[in-house]
Amino acid sequence: MTPLSSGFWSPGDEPGHRKFVTLTGQHQPFVLEGGGQLESVTVAYETWGTLDETRSNAVLVLHALTGDSHATGEADKGHLTPGWWRGVIGPGLAIDTDRFFVVCPNVLGACQGTTGPSSRAPDGDHYGSRFPVITIRDQVEVEVALADYLDIETWAGIVGGSMGGMRVLEWAVAHPARTGHAVVLAVGAAATADQIALSSLQVRAIRLDPDFAGGDYYANARAPYEGLAIARGLGQFTYRTGLEFETRFGRALQVESETVGSSDYAIESYLGYQGAKLGARFDPNSYIVLSEAMNHHDVGRGRGGVELALKSVPVPVTVAGIISDRLYPLALQEQLVSLLPNASPLATISSDFGHDGFLLEVEQVGAVIASALRQ
């Protein structure tokens, strides 16, 4: 069982390259779309490059479900894993830190320094089950407050994939004057039934773990990491492709044996490993909160529907999809391009990795982003 203390970042832990700011909403507390509120939100973020005198060269990078602010850089003190987009962000790379001032915040509801369920509430105890329902729009409003704090009126570019791409779309729809060029990778305008089904099963797996304790497990010796491992396995199955699994694993056993049932299949071991690895750095409650926020994703909600919302976007948008993505198939990106009035032709990424191609196909993805930012 993974130690509870390793599943989330907390004050007193090594900060690594994180910077921190505590923000309030436009009218003091952040009033959330679901009816709750947060008196303030602490945001962990990282930056690279230099902000120019006109403050016009800033690029906002938005991470996906289990990402964090450490978008580039090595694993070191405070960062259990290397940057998730190391080949994309840096000097001379697609998001060129010699040219741009790059900002990557940890998202609201997460567990790597930004306010989430594992954070301390005003009464001093962990939020746990008391953490309010949040949406993609709520996350973006916190990012808007961060931009205000950094005195960045308009981002030269906003870039993100999957859950990060949801937030890019929301920026473009809700805050077009502050969005220079939107780059949306591997996502759609609204969560589909398929995606909601996956997330709901993942959430159930965590909540049915005997150690879940209704979400208030932080003072306990055990946390629901077995449920989180199952949730991650379900996700990993949809993030990749059958072709990749067949090529890498086929019917191979983890330990070769002639006795049926005496060894796991290699693919089973791989999925278990991915679940355990996530448990070393992620809070199960955050997985629930962020998964449900993704389920609520719908740029058309309260705006007359998806078509009307997207057709109102005046900013240039680059949309890219992964040909083999079975979770966010190309039809969703084709819809975006057809409805966004200033969208470039759809960029397609060829990959055996499925949805994870937006993270792994560094050269192809980098070329799409670099082209967008040159505009």
Is 325 one of the annotated active-site residues of the chain? yes
DSSP state of 251: T
- Integer-rounded Cα Rg, in Å, for the chain is 20
- The structure tokens listed for 299 are 């740029």
Annotated catalytic residue: which of 162, 199, 344, 351?
A: 162
Using the structure block, give the residue that is written with the tokens 């949306």.
184
Using the structure block, give the residue that is written with the tokens 């002639």.
258
Strand positions, DSSP E, the chain:
19-23, 30-31, 37-38, 41-48, 58-62, 89-90, 95-96, 101-105, 157-161, 182-185, 317-322, 347-349
Give CA–CA dist 232/205, Å, rounded: 10
Give CA–CA dist 321/354, Å, rounded: 10
Annotated catalytic residue: which of 283, 298, 325, 356?
A: 325
Using the structure block, give the residue that is written with the tokens 């005003």.
122
Give CA–CA dist 186/190, Å, rounded: 12
Please say whether the beta carbons of 63 and 89 come within 8 A. Answer: no
Give CA–CA dist 365/375, Å, rounded: 16
Annotated catalytic residue: which of 17, 324, 355, 356?
A: 355
Is 138 one of the annotated active-site residues of the chain? no
Phi, psi of 23 (to 5 degrees): -120, 155
Is 371 one of the annotated active-site residues of the chain? no
Annotated catalytic residues are 162, 325, 355
